[in-house]
């Protein structure tokens, strides 16, 4: 037998349930992110090798492992423009030799912006370029130094400005793209603006959002810019500066762009102090060095593989490991 009261109120009840359904869907937790099973097998082998060698870092599945490492690591030293030699110490665009400070603290964390994610594009060179400019701008604005939290997490100096990697990726004058590039500071110097591909500075990310692929260059003439006033190598473009020289540059500028060789262990890094599993005589990836800790014997490295890689997007890496620091260069805003 039908309940006349229920029948009378059923349409209203259905409307209420329909209205609540989207809210319930929004409130549902997204749950842990899942990865392809073969990634776990790869990590198991890497972990076994790390443990067998008694190394002091950990590996695990992370979002960066979804992408081919050769695709992610797009820094190509052979693409260095010849005119960049003028930015080496003593060159006419870097005529003041960096002074190595006599007294350096045992540990230090510099000034740097939030970690970003380059996605599947080999644009690490663009992220290192923009990351250095963002850090220099934060330092010039008097932003606080970053710091290491009690739980080991890394706290950045601030999130503003947020500048456009897409501009560097899509508008550079050298034709670099997702298949590789080099530090692109020259294109952001007002003194060189005018020719195609050279600008008064970096535009805000909101003016040209990052999409992990090169697009048609589209920047309004009136868009505000954050300029690279000056930049230079800490030592030669093809050498690793001394530990003291890199420390002095970080103290002065907040951080430095630099290169490293990123291998499978680097890609799978989740914590600890990263060190060599074998010797490499090349580099393939652009990053930033933003601090150090002599107790660890390590640099604090800022990557561009998102905050779910490493330690909040950062890595502690032993001095001298995987050619870290090669081509280190500073920026002023």
Q: List residues with catalytic annotation.
A: 124, 285, 303
DSSP state of 239: S
Residue that has been written with the tokens 């090669």 in this structure: 326
Rounded-to-integer distance, Cα 2 and Cα 301, Å: 70
Q: Cis before residue 161, ω within 30 degrees of 0? A: yes
Could you tell me if 219 and 208 are in contact, meaning their C-beta atoms sit under 8 angstroms apart?
yes
Token pair belonging to 100:
């190595």
Structural contact between residues 302 and 311, judged by C-beta atoms closer than 8 angstroms = no
Separation between Cα atoms, residue 181 and residue 178, nearest integer Å: 8
3-state SS class at 116: coil
Residue count (the chain):
333
The closest of 255, 328, 303, 320 to 116, measured between CA atoms, is 303
Three-class SS of residue 213? coil
The contacts of residue 11 (CB under 8 Å, 6+ apart) are none
Quote the DSSP letter at residue 205: T
| Bridge partners, residue 317, by sequence | 274, 299
Outline where DSSP puts E strands in the chain: 57-59, 107-109, 147-148, 154-155, 230-233, 256-260, 269-274, 285-293, 298-302, 314-318, 326-332
Instruction: State the DSSP H helix or E strand holding residue 21, giving kind and residue range, or none if neither.
Output: helix 4-27
Which structure tokens are listed for 83? Answer: 């005119």
In the structure, how many helices (H) and strands (E) does the chain have?
7, 11
CB-CB contact of 134 with 161 (8 Å): yes
């Amino acid at each position: 037998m039908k309940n006349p009261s229920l029948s009378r109120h059923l349409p209203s009840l259905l409307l209420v349930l329909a209205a609540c359904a989207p809210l319930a869907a929004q409130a549902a937790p997204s749950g842990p992110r899942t990865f392809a099973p073969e990634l776990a097998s790869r990590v198991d082998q890497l972990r076994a090798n790390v443990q067998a060698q008694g190394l002091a870092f950990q590996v695990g599945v992370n979002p960066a492992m979804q992408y081919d490492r050769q695709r992610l690591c797009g820094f190509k030293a052979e693409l260095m423009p010849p005119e960049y030699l003028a930015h080496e110490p003593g060159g006419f665009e870097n005529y003041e030799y960096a002074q190595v400070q006599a007294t350096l603290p045992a540990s230090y964390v510099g000034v740097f912006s939030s970690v970003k994610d380059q996605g599947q594009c080999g644009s690490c060179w663009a992220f290192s370029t923009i990351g250095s400019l963002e850090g220099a701008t934060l330092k010039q604005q008097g932003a606080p130094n970053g710091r290491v939290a009690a739980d080991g997490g890394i706290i950045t100096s601030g999130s503003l400005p947020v500048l456009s990697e897409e501009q560097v990726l899509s508008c550079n004058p050298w034709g670099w793209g997702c298949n590789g590039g080099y530090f692109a500071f020259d294109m952001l110097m007002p003194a060189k603006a005018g020719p195609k591909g050279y600008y008064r500075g970096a535009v805000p990310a909101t003016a040209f959002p990052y999409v992990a692929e090169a697009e048609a260059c589209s920047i309004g003439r009136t868009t505000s810019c954050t300029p690279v006033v000056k930049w230079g190598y800490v030592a030669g473009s093809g050498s690793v500066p001394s530990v003291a020289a890199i420390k002095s540059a970080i103290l002065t500028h907040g951080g430095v762009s630099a290169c490293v060789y990123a291998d499978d262990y680097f890609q799978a890094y989740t914590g600890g102090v990263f060190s060599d599993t074998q010797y490499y005589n090349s580099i393939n990836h652009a990053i930033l060095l933003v601090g150090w800790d002599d107790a660890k014997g390590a640099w604090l490295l800022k990557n561009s593989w998102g905050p779910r890689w490493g330690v909040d997007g950062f890595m502690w890496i032993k001095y001298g490991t995987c050619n870290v620091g090669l081509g280190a260069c500073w920026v002023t805003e």
